Chains A and B, each alone.
Chain A
Amino acid sequence: MPVAARARWVLAAATSVVLVATGCSSGGGGSSSSDTSKTFSYQSSEPQNPLQPANSNETGGGRIIENLFKGLVDYDPSTAKLRNQVADKIDTSDSQTFTVTLKDGWKFHDGTPVHAKNFVDAWNWGATTSNNQINSSWFSDIEGYKDVHPASGQPVTDKMSGLTVTDDLHFTIKLTNKVSYFEYKLGYIAFSPLPDAFFKDPAGFGQKPVGNGPYQFVSWSHNQEVVTKTFPDYQGVDKPKNGGVIFKMYNTSEAAYADLQSNNLDVMDQVPPSALATYKNDLGDRAVDAPQGGIQNIGFTLYQADWSSPDKAKVRQGLSMAIDRDTITKTVLQGSRKPASAWVAEGVEGYKAGACGDFCNFDPAKAKALITEGGGVPGNKVTITYNADGGHKEWVDAVCNSIRQSTGVDCTGDPKPDFKTARTLISQHQLNGIFRTGWVQDYPLNANFLADIYRTGAASNDTGYSNPQFDQLSKQADEAASVEATVTGYQQAEAVLPSGMPAIPLWYYRTNSGYSTKVQNVKFDSFGNPAWTQVEVKG
């Protein structure tokens, strides 16, 4: 390629950065000094939904919303503990009614103040069925949710009775049940406040959002990039140390990785599987390997006759002991996962290593014995259903191999073409056997990994598990007086799971990522996101 073409490539890349970094001063320092006016780019994907806080549940849109908006609380990226942001304090005496006091001085990017009504209006709008918000079920704890979001038919009102604005800086939240850890949920993006301008044109807003977060929206070139810049009036505890984030859309992580290696991309999400073996060598001390609040399980169809009798719990425990987690994570998954010993992911508040007990240890002899005791696997044959589009084939085959070799039970993978096909079969309870399931934290608390999946009738209870003791302990934990008591309460509930073994914990997710030579201080939190505002761009 001629030199002229090369110059144009470079020029094009340079101008796009300069365009955003308006008023960029030349720091002109050594490699460790940073320039707070400079932006950095992050690997992203085109959002699947309009950029409305209650409508983004996938990473592409979610991480952009997260930077444009800031709710009452968020989680400290280094400790995963809850911290106040817009909220000055959130008080409750009975875990059911919460009084929220806001900090004064917060502003939206359009200059209007962030008041109590901005939260209440946003939540009411997000919860109402007719607004088609994907995250609306997040508001289901609030009293009056059924009125704005009936199970079927049109809502009778668009205001939840549980939300009351006292004055500009105070409002109260009344829940239908006691939920001691409700504060933890409030860190989710669905609970972001919305400026008055939103309600005039929600659709237009979805293409051009105005938030109150550390970064403000500049432009969205669809399929190319979303450009943000630092909001100078940001009042949060995490003041940005950079000039903004450019979310560059990539079709494949291979393309992003190639760009990262040549410094055309600054921080990436997750290195491609093809680079897992080499990325630490390629990137040196710029490689990241951090724990993530996510877990890979395989669940049983407890609603099927084959698995519903109480004896079968032994079979499930046996199958769990037949899986050589250590070897599979090391070889097939190339160290990108960590063997699980509990149903709650590592690093999450309330994580208790070893909750699964011996059942998560590889022991072929005991596995065989347990399976025989439990009456064996029906037909001596199991299938593991998974979605073929998610890169699961390799480990599913390995798990099957492990089961076959250690117990003699015939095991085969049962690929479904894609995620939505597999999900439809799983959620409509149309399978018989074992299926792949996973859980990535909504908020870093053990309740999220237990109540949402294993409680009787919970929305994401794919296995159909129902245990009165577990439900009772969960209920007690919810009604506890403090979050600490909730955490211990749920640890007791988790201790019930080994006896029924509704799902086998396999391993925890990890963030395997890296960054370019242009940035420093890149630390990833348990959501697998970098601490955005703390990233420093070298001067």
Chain B
Amino acid sequence: MGSYVLRRVLQMIPVFFGTTLLIFLMVYTLPGDPVSALFGQKAADPAVVASIKHKYYLDQPIWKQYLHYMGNLFQGDFGTSFTGRPVSDIMADAFPVTIRLALLAFAFEIVFGLCLGLLSGLRRGSVRDTLVLLLTLLVISIPVFVLAYIAQTIFATNLGWVTPTVQDSTDLSQLILPAIVLGSLSLAFVARLTRTSIGENLRADYMRTAVAKGLPRRTIISRHLLRNSLIPVVTFLGTDLGALMGGAIVTEGIFNVQGVGNVLYRAINQKEGPTVVGIVTVLVIVYLVASLLVDLLYAVLDPRIRYA
């Protein structure tokens, strides 16, 4: 197990370099000049453009820019945005907001997704199973932004329970509605995955054995059935955490949550290299760590899975 973890951690290094290089190249070689774009409709002043480019190291060949960027990164310097703020400050503001939003959505999809999946999986073909299937199908087929606008209209405009947009992004209670919207799609997947997985395992030999042994129903479901059925669900959840963090752009836009999605969207629009690469680098690390955790969790859930 120890050598497995070590190998996995070592594997993360080339992945990290590969992804950052790719992102860097994509952002920095996009057509259009970010510095000239700062001037808007007015003609850019060549002298100032040259001076700003020099300041941000943009007048160097791309490979030098990458080395310069990585060199600074390893000294903990993510660079400076055009607003004159260090990118690390920007991320320190945005990440906690999105992490809270993603974790709330994550908790929501785990709790409700598993419950719904369990409810329908235990009694396949029943009324409640059909109901869950219908509900999740509905959620899957509606795009997130439509769902967000529906939620905004019903709960804010019509019922007046909440304000239409989040007034303070650091307030956890205000993030509940956006989190539910954000997590709803994954919730549907979790519910359906759990349902299928439980349905299959119900017919497994070890289940028949457990029932024959006369074990109490609770023990059968929690110890035997659920634990085995969770493996595919955990795989999904692991990658989903990363997706929630990066995929919050639409939800954050509609609810005006000042998180990573929002900052990233603006930075991409303005082609602000340091901010985009910095944020995506952190997101890549989140993905890597999440998938590592998933692999480790396998062994916990099913000791038969051995990593030689």
Q: Do A and B come from the same complex?
A: yes
Tell me the residues in window 79-105 of chain B with beta carbons closer than 8 Å to chain A beta carbons.
82-85, 89-90, 93-94
Complex Cα gap A261–B158 (Å): 11
Complex Cα gap A437–B157 (Å): 38
For residue B254, CB closer than 8 A to chain A, the reply is yes
Given contacts A203-B84, A261-B157, A427-B44, contact A16 B167 (CB under 8 A): yes
Tell me the residues in window 197-234 of chain A with beta carbons closer than 8 Å to chain B beta carbons.
203, 206-207, 222-224
Chain B residues with Cβ below 8 Å from A440 are 41
For residue B298, CB closer than 8 A to chain A, the reply is no
Complex Cα gap A385–B219 (Å): 67
Complex Cα gap A148–B173 (Å): 54
Given contacts A132-B52, A250-B256, A423-B37, contact A261 B45 (CB under 8 A): no
Stretch at the interface among B67-75, B187-195, B260-268: B260-268
Interface string of A142-158 (1 = CB under 8 A from B): 00000001111000000
Q: Which of A149, A150, A264, A419 contacts B167 (CB 8 A)?
A: A264
Contact A259 B55 (CB under 8 A): no
Contact A134 B39 (CB under 8 A): yes
Size band of the A side of the interface?
35 or more
How far does the Cβ of A515 sit from chain B's closest Cβ, in whole Å?
16
Tell me the residues in window 23-54 of chain B with beta carbons closer than 8 Å to chain A beta carbons.
31-34, 36-48, 50-52
Chain B residues with Cβ below 8 Å from A151 are 46-47
Complex Cα gap A84–B91 (Å): 43
For residue A474, CB closer than 8 A to chain B, the reply is no
For residue B59, CB closer than 8 A to chain A, the reply is no
Contact B85 A222 (CB under 8 A): yes
Name which of B43, B93, B256 has the most chain A CB atoms within 10 A of its CB.
B256
Complex Cα gap A256–B167 (Å): 11
Given contacts A16-B168, A134-B48, A222-B93, contact A421 B55 (CB under 8 A): no
For residue A341, CB closer than 8 A to chain B, the reply is no
For residue B165, CB closer than 8 A to chain A, the reply is yes
Chain A residues with Cβ below 8 Å from B82 are 48-49
Name which of A12, A47, A152 has the most chain B CB atoms within 10 A of its CB.
A12
Complex Cα gap A5–B163 (Å): 11
Chain A residues with Cβ below 8 Å from B155 are 1
Residue of chain B at shortest CB distance from A440: B41
Contact A255 B48 (CB under 8 A): no
Interface string of A369-404 (1 = CB under 8 A from B): 000000000000000000001000000000000000
Contact B263 A223 (CB under 8 A): yes
Contact A6 B167 (CB under 8 A): no
Chain B residues with Cβ below 8 Å from A250 are 165, 256
Q: Which of A46, A129, A255, A419 contacts B83 (CB 8 A)?
A: A46
Interface string of A419-430 (1 = CB under 8 A from B): 111011001000
Given contacts A132-B48, A152-B50, A254-B254, contact A222 B167 (CB under 8 A): no
How far does the Cβ of B272 sit from chain A's closest Cβ, in whole Å?
9
Task: Please report the total number of B residues contacting A with Cβ < 8 Å.
Answer: 60
Residue of chain B at shortest CB distance from A274: B149
Contact B165 A47 (CB under 8 A): no
Contact B51 A9 (CB under 8 A): no
Complex Cα gap A91–B188 (Å): 73
Contact A49 B51 (CB under 8 A): no
Tell me the residues in window 20-47 of chain A with beta carbons closer than 8 Å to chain B beta carbons.
46-47
Interface string of A175-201 (1 = CB under 8 A from B): 000000000000000000000000000
Given contacts A223-B94, A251-B265, A420-B271, contact A9 B47 (CB under 8 A): no
Complex Cα gap A57–B34 (Å): 15
Complex Cα gap A522–B278 (Å): 42
Contact B269 A8 (CB under 8 A): no
For residue A130, CB closer than 8 A to chain B, the reply is yes
Interface string of B164-179 (1 = CB under 8 A from A): 1101110101101100
For residue A277, CB closer than 8 A to chain B, the reply is no
Interface string of B192-219 (1 = CB under 8 A from A): 0000000000000000000000000000
Tell me the residues in window 82-135 of chain A with beta carbons closer than 8 Å to chain B beta carbons.
129-130, 132-134
How far does the Cβ of A458 sit from chain B's closest Cβ, in whole Å?
8
Contact B162 A6 (CB under 8 A): yes
Complex Cα gap A5–B266 (Å): 30
Contact B165 A264 (CB under 8 A): yes
For residue A249, CB closer than 8 A to chain B, the reply is yes
For residue A278, CB closer than 8 A to chain B, the reply is no
Q: Which of A132, A223, A256, A264 contacts B258 (CB 8 A)?
A: A223
Name which of A5, A6, A133, A223 has the most chain B CB atoms within 10 A of its CB.
A223
Chain B residues with Cβ below 8 Å from A16 are 167-168
For residue B186, CB closer than 8 A to chain A, the reply is no
Complex Cα gap A102–B141 (Å): 66
Chain B residues with Cβ below 8 Å from A306 are none
Contact A424 B36 (CB under 8 A): yes
How far does the Cβ of B206 sit from chain A's closest Cβ, in whole Å?
42
Chain B residues with Cβ below 8 Å from A8 are 171, 173-174
Q: Which of A10, A49, A258, A424 contacts B165 (CB 8 A)?
A: A258
Name which of B38, B48, B254 has the most chain A CB atoms within 10 A of its CB.
B48
Contact A129 B51 (CB under 8 A): yes
Q: Which of B31, B94, B262 contacts A251 (CB 8 A)?
A: B262
Chain B residues with Cβ below 8 Å from A329 are none
Contact A12 B43 (CB under 8 A): no
Complex Cα gap A259–B32 (Å): 34
Chain B residues with Cβ below 8 Å from A415 are none
Name which of A13, A46, A255 has the most chain B CB atoms within 10 A of its CB.
A255
For residue A335, CB closer than 8 A to chain B, the reply is no
How far does the Cβ of B32 sit from chain A's closest Cβ, in whole Å?
4
Contact A255 B256 (CB under 8 A): yes
Q: Which of A255, A418, A459 contacts B43 (CB 8 A)?
A: A459
Tell me the residues in window 131-188 of chain B with beta carbons closer than 8 Å to chain A beta carbons.
152, 155-157, 160-165, 167-169, 171, 173-174, 176-177
For residue A521, CB closer than 8 A to chain B, the reply is no
Contact A249 B258 (CB under 8 A): yes
How far does the Cβ of B274 sit from chain A's closest Cβ, in whole Å?
14
Chain A residues with Cβ below 8 Å from B42 are 57, 137, 459-460
Given contacts A9-B174, A49-B84, contact A258 B156 (CB under 8 A): yes
A interface vs B, CB < 8 Å? 1, 5-6, 8-10, 12-13, 16, 46-50, 57-58, 129-130, 132-134, 136-137, 149-152, 203, 206-207, 222-224, 249-252, 254-256, 258-259, 261-262, 264, 389, 417-421, 423-424, 427, 437-440, 459-460
B interface vs A, CB < 8 Å? 31-34, 36-48, 50-52, 55, 82-85, 89-90, 93-94, 152, 155-157, 160-165, 167-169, 171, 173-174, 176-177, 252-256, 258, 262-263, 265-266, 269-271
Closest 6 CB pairs of A and B: A420-B37, A258-B164, A420-B32, A459-B43, A421-B32, A50-B84
Contacts A9-B171, A49-B83, A222-B93 known; list 5 others, CB within 8 Å: A12-B174, A130-B51, A223-B94, A258-B164, A259-B165
